[in-house]
Amino acid sequence: MAKKGISSSLVNWIDYRLPIFSSIRHSLIDYPTPRNLNYWWNFGSLAGFFLVLQIITGVVLAMHYNPSVEGAFASIEHIMRDVNYGWLIRYVHMNGASFFFVVVYIHIFRGLYYGSYKSPRELLWWLGLIILLLMMATAFMGYVLPWGQMSFWGATVITNLFSAIPGIGSSIVSWLWGGFSVDNALLTRFYALHYLFPFLIVGVVILHIIALHTHGSNNPLGIDRSGPKDSISFHPYYTIKDLFGLSFVLTIFFLVVFYAPNYLGHPDNYIPADQLRTPSHIVPEWYFLPFYAILRAIPDKLVGVIAMVSSIMILFLLPWLDTSKVRSATFRPIYKKIYWFLVIDVVVLTWVGANPPEGNFILIGRVATIYYFTHILVLMPLIGLIEKPRSLPRSISESVFSKSGKVGE
């Protein structure tokens, strides 16, 4: 009892001068959360888990990696064969990146369905998109580090896209390369930035959480909390829910790590980089494939690059492009159906991006690209104007209690 009293006094002493513990308690324990959140809200915390996992495994891998053209590929083999549990750490890091993107993409599509980008959460949405852009940059630079065939040629193709910029494009490419070709200078820079960017992501995630807690979480109904009955504390209700979701996802994750660790990779990346031998089909990692398909769908290089960049940048305009006053697609009969066309379209773009740009794949890619931009720039504003939403519940508690048969209690 005496030890407990001393530790409690120490915590109070620290918290009075630097309110760390009270902030943690407010953010993770007492934080008032809408009582009707479903399992689609688990993916934010899952993304946080995989970010921490990537940083921990990445720091360990960085201790054994050699960022040079001569030693990069060999250092990966050294990690796999000689470092204690190096194979496990690398497979966890490699597949962790894929699972990180899976949960983030689901998190984004959940936000699209339930209107989590609408007022007053515009900055929350923007910060989420900035996290996505930083993730993409980090993942691309990480993909180059093993210095296999796909690493080298992927770096060559993607960095060459800057040459499409009129006037200064070639100078930018030479500056990125640090010379006249992809070599030691680029590899060293990518290694340094790949190590740095996850910590930038952590900083933006903190801002993301602050923005989230400013106006609270959105919910499946898309209505604001109207009183204490609409909320429950985050702990233990949602911590238990998050832990259950985490255990389910980790089961799938470790099945992939132990039984199919290379399934999401490319076999050409187990061949050392060779400048004189171009792979028959250069493809990025699967999480870049929709954007890669948009790039290839347009014959002109500059327009293709603009379209690829615009496919992400227009998402920043969603809070204003969506003209409906109702957030959740649950109460929007037309948008609720059209939404799934966007999901299917992104899946089609992913499939097209994984295949060579020939035959019907070119036509399908162009149609899918046109629909993607039409959906966001035309259909979303138009549907918001003509659609007649269903009536909203008066409160979250009314909706929850009516489903459980407790109305009037």
The reported pLDDT for the residue numbered 330 is 95
Separation in Å, CA 274 to CA 104, 140, 174 = 34, 19, 20
Exactly one of 64, 78, 229, 241 is catalytic; which is it?
A: 241
- Reported in sequence order, the residue ranges of 228-379 that DSSP labels E, i.e. its strands, are 231-233
Exactly one of 118, 194, 268, 285 is catalytic; which is it?
A: 285
CB neighbour class for 371 (10 Å; exposed up to 12, middle 13-18, buried from 19): middle
- Nearest in space to 111 (alpha carbons), one of 241, 227, 15, 211: 211
Are 96 and 115 in contact by the 8 Å Cβ rule? The answer is no
The reported pLDDT for the residue numbered 228 is 87
Contacts of 4 (CB under 8 A, 6+ apart): none
Exactly one of 26, 64, 78, 213 is catalytic; which is it?
A: 213
The pTM is what? 0.94
- The amino acid present at 226, given as its one-letter code, is S
The reported pLDDT for the residue numbered 409 is 39
Are 215 and 119 in contact by the 8 Å Cβ rule? The answer is no
Measured between alpha carbons, how far is 279 from 12 in angstroms, rounded to an integer? Answer: 62
The reported pLDDT for the residue numbered 407 is 44
Residues in the chain: 409
Q: How many CB atoms lie within 10 A of CB 368?
A: 23
Exactly one of 116, 217, 231, 397 is catalytic; which is it?
A: 217
Q: How many CB atoms lie within 10 A of CB 7?
A: 10
- Nearest in space to 350 (alpha carbons), one of 276, 269, 264: 264
| Cα Rg, the chain, nearest whole Å | 24
Are 110 and 40 in contact by the 8 Å Cβ rule? The answer is yes
Pairing mode of beta strands 231-233, 32-34:
antiparallel
Are 150 and 283 in contact by the 8 Å Cβ rule? The answer is yes
Are 368 and 342 in contact by the 8 Å Cβ rule? The answer is no
Are 132 and 156 in contact by the 8 Å Cβ rule? The answer is no
The reported pLDDT for the residue numbered 404 is 59
Separation in Å, CA 303 to CA 79, 156, 165, 227, 311 = 42, 19, 10, 51, 12
Q: What is the DSSP letter of 377?
A: I
The helices-and-strands tally (H runs, E runs) of the chain is: 17, 2
The reported pLDDT for the residue numbered 3 is 59
The reported pLDDT for the residue numbered 408 is 41
Confirm whether 285 is a catalytic residue: yes
The sign of the CA dihedral 160, 164, 168, 170 is: positive
Are 43 and 114 in contact by the 8 Å Cβ rule? The answer is no
Confirm whether 241 is a catalytic residue: yes
148: phi > 0 → left, psi -120 to 50 → alpha, else beta; which? beta
Give the pLDDT means over successive 10-residue stretches in the chain (409 positions): 70 90 85 94 97 98 96 96 97 98 98 96 98 97 96 93 90 91 94 97 96 94 91 93 97 98 92 90 93 95 95 97 96 97 98 94 97 98 96 91 58
Confirm whether 242 is a catalytic residue: yes
Task: Map out the domains of the chain with their CATH numbers.
Answer: 39-217+231-282 (1.20.810.10), 285-388 (1.10.287.980)
DSSP string for residues in 131-146:
HHHHHHHHHHHHHHTT
The sign of the CA dihedral 106, 353, 363, 370 is: positive
Exactly one of 194, 230, 242, 311 is catalytic; which is it?
A: 242
The reported pLDDT for the residue numbered 158 is 92
Q: How many CB atoms lie within 10 A of CB 274?
A: 12
